[in-house]
Amino acid sequence: LAFTYHREQKLDLNLYLQANYFNAQYTVQQQMQNRYLDSRHGLDATYWLRPNLLVNNDFEWIATTGRSDGFNRQIPLWHLHVSYLFLKNQRGTLKFSAIDLLNQSQSINRNVGENFIFDSQTEVLQRYFMLSFSLSLSRWGGKKPGATTAAPKAQGKKQPGAKPGEE
């Protein structure tokens, strides 16, 4: 479920909710039956301070329930990006990113097999900062996307399909 609001070069808002319900049922080993829920909900907001300067805040809340003791978690994640657009047609982007500002990132996994349920937590990269540069090549060489190069007209010869007086 998602809600999106867009105002050109001013504000983009994306509010979302995602829920995944898992139901593992067994006919032979009924004690292995298991139900659990993973959900994610968050807000992604981008605000243009100027036509070439924008700030993006991305906040997400991740919840895991119905798992083994110690694996039911509430994980808040917050990412912040500041982007500066430059060069002709704003083809260049210099972006500073702060990822996992709350230092809470975790990886919780559940594997379910015929005779086992295994919950695990793995190490992930937590809070970090990054400076990146990207260049859009969509109009390289000054040609518009989809444009074709026409064959030059032959000097003094009538082009096929041309009307009288056209050369």
Dist. CA 73–CA 155, nearest whole Å = 76
Taking only the tens place, the pLDDT of each residue in 124-134 is 888 999 999 99
Phi, psi of 63 (to 5 degrees): -130, 135
Taking only the tens place, the pLDDT of each residue in 123-162 is 888 899 999 999 998 755 555 555 555 444 444 444 444 4
- Pairing state of beta strands 92-99 and 34-50? unpaired
Ranking 31-45, 74-88, 152-166 by mean pLDDT, the lowest is: 152-166
Residue 73: exposed, middle, or buried by beta-carbon count in 10 A (0-12, 13-18, 19+)?
middle
Dist. CA 72–CA 64, nearest whole Å = 5
| Among 24, 47, 52, 35, residue whose Cα is nearest residue 114 | 24
Per-residue confidence (pLDDT) for residue 107, from 0 to 100: 82
